[in-house]
Structure 1
Amino acid sequence: MKYQIIPVTPFQQNCSVIWCEKTKLAAVVDPGGDIDRIVTEVEKLGLTLEKILLTHGHIDHVGGAKMLSNQLNIDIVGPHSADKFWFDNLAKQSQNFGFPHIDPFEPTQYLNEGDKVTIGEQTLSVLHCPGHTPGHIVFHSAESHLAWVGDVLFRSSIGRTDFPQSDHKQLIHSITQKLWLLGDKVSFIPGHGPMSTFEEERQHNPFVADQLLG
């Protein structure tokens, strides 16, 4: 599986275009905004977008999803339905975070733990990883040893848990009991900032390093 990271919105959110090299079919993960930039990059790469994948319902991750869906007539897939209240609240999110007004919308399909998502001939596994938001999910490519973790985990940090229905204990459980089980060699693309590996974070992350949590 191939990917290209495109930072979008004033929050520099890591939107990703991911694709099957054989079929050139692609998905875009968390198109928070700057839709023209995303479409231009997809065209430059010679790809055909077939779906939009969302890790959670915060506006910097979903703000451009409906516009892109309408423009290209493609489905919006994910996150888990426990994040529905964030989609219902998009107009208020727009105000609170200084984004252009976004009307509420609902994804074409919500996802659950254990679901599979195909992109061409490639398959992503879905993990439900609540904590940052109750419906947050992670996409994992076992073949490529890659994971798109949204705002669950960052290089040297973890997701915020001061939002409505966030839960710090759940977040730590999601990281240590779900992400770590995918293997140390997995590289991950977070919602913001540089990539890292689970091995690196288990050794050095000041919030979830093995030596801190026992």
Structure 2
Amino acid sequence: MPQIKDAWFTVQQITKDTFAISEYGHWEKVHSFLLLGEERAALIDTGLGIENMKRMTDQLTSLPIVVLTTHVHWDHIGSHGEFDKIYVHEAEEDWLVNGIKKLPIEQIRKDVARDITKPVPEAFNSETYRPFQGKPTGLLRDGDSIQLGNRELTIYHTPGHSPGHIAILDHRHQFLFTGDLLYNETPIYAFFPTTDPAQLVASLEKIARIPKVSKIIGSHNQIGLSPDILEDVKKGMSQLKEKDLVKHGTGIHQFGSFSVQF
């Protein structure tokens, strides 16, 4: 891997063909992931849009890139406009084209501007910031297979945090990229008007049934969690259902190494 030093992005090589591109200078600590195949590469999300993501991927690969969107929230689609091929789950095509539902631009601008600890480029202005909007190249559905050339990815529809949220299984390494469905350190959010606690619980139970996962890789905070967290998921979701807590307004629920907020 070339030594990449950048004022905004941090690049971490997970394997020889898998990279995390992180934005630690923002409170979201959001990660995007570049997966290299023999014929093309997949970029899972494109970050905040504060800086130019393509500037980083150009240094990591010359392969054609397809963008796989875990979900259409502003902190995951920021650099979508820099790439030619963008895919999104069919349930959020409208969000990508017409804007994120029930999330005012004023709130987005407030969130993108706060708690920044690294210098931002001169071109960035939080007062005029707008999330990407545009028509996707294609739509994703549950069970779809994405072929990169001797590297296969499987799409899992995992709604709850948002209607068209997906998780992505990389069969080469048995990595499960979970977007905002599962990560540690801060709560998984399912308290927005567009979230669905029951769907989130069902989605967490769904990924907990995927066999032989070697690593959980979420889009925020720590990169790479032990698959043992899936046992915490199974137990935690069972407890939530038993106690009738799967609904908005019940607060934060901690289970071992992760928590959810309804």
TM-score range with shorter-chain normalisation? 0.7 to 0.9
What is the CA-CA distance between 1:201 and the residue it aligns to? 4.1
Q: 1:152-163 maps to which residues of 2 (within 5 A)? A: 152-155=181-184, 159-163=188-192
Look up the SS of the partner of 2:189 in the other structure. Answer: coil
| 1:96 and 2:107 aligned | yes
Seen in structure 2, the aligned counterparts of structure 1 residues 154 and 16 have a Cα distance that, compared at 3 Å, is: same
CA contact (8 A) 1:24 1:46 kept: no
Is the radius of gyration larger for structure 1 or structure 2? Answer: 2
Give the helix-richer structure, 1 or 2. Answer: 1
Seen in structure 2, the aligned counterparts of structure 1 residues 90 and 213 have a Cα distance that, compared at 3 Å, is: closer
What is the CA-CA distance between 1:158 and the residue it aligns to? 5.4
Supply the distance in 2 between the matched residues of 1:103 and 1:31 (Cα, whole angstroms): 10
Supply the distance in 2 between the matched residues of 1:95 and 1:59 (Cα, whole angstroms): 12
Q: How many pairs align?
A: 200
Corresponding residue for residue 85 of structure 2: 75
| 1:125 and 2:140 aligned | no
CA contact (8 A) 1:59 1:93 kept: no
Corresponding residue for residue 29 of structure 2: 12
Look up the SS of the partner of 2:138 in the other structure. Answer: coil
Which letter maps to 2:99?
N
Cα deviation, 1:106-131, whole Å, max 9, x if unaligned, reads 32111111111122331100110010
Supply the distance in 2 between the matched residues of 1:210 and 1:192 (Cα, whole angstroms): 23
Supply the distance in 2 between the matched residues of 1:13 and 1:154 (Cα, whole angstroms): 11
| 1:48 and 2:63 aligned | yes
CA contact (8 A) 1:113 1:126 kept: yes
Cα deviation, 1:17-44, whole Å, max 9, x if unaligned, reads 1112xx26312111022553x3343333
TM-score, normalising length: structure 1: 0.81
Task: Determine what percentage of the aligned residue pairs are the same residue.
Answer: 23
| 1:193 and 2:204 aligned | no
Which letter maps to 1:213?
S
Look up the SS of the partner of 1:110 in the other structure. Answer: strand
Of residues 7-16 and 90-99 in structure 1, the stretch that sits farther from structure 2 once superposed is 90-99
Look up the SS of the partner of 1:106 in the other structure. Answer: coil
| 1:213 and 2:223 aligned | no
Cα deviation, 1:114-150, whole Å, max 9, x if unaligned, reads 1111223311001100100011111111231101111
What is the CA-CA distance between 1:76 and the residue it aligns to? 0.2
Look up the SS of the partner of 1:76 in the other structure. Answer: strand
CA contact (8 A) 1:184 1:199 kept: no
Supply the distance in 1 between the matched residues of 2:158 and 2:210 (Cα, whole angstroms): 13
Where structure 2 has 5 or more consecutive residues not aligned to the other structure, the ranges are 1-14, 113-128, 240-262
Which letter maps to 1:95?
E
Aligned residues: CA RMSD: 2.5
Look up the SS of the partner of 2:200 in the other structure. Answer: helix
Seen in structure 2, the aligned counterparts of structure 1 residues 103 and 19 have a Cα distance that, compared at 3 Å, is: closer
Look up the SS of the partner of 2:228 in the other structure. Answer: helix
Corresponding residue for residue 29 of structure 1: 44
Supply the distance in 2 between the matched residues of 1:114 and 1:52 (Cα, whole angstroms): 17
Supply the distance in 1 between the matched residues of 2:71 and 2:150 (Cα, whole angstroms): 25
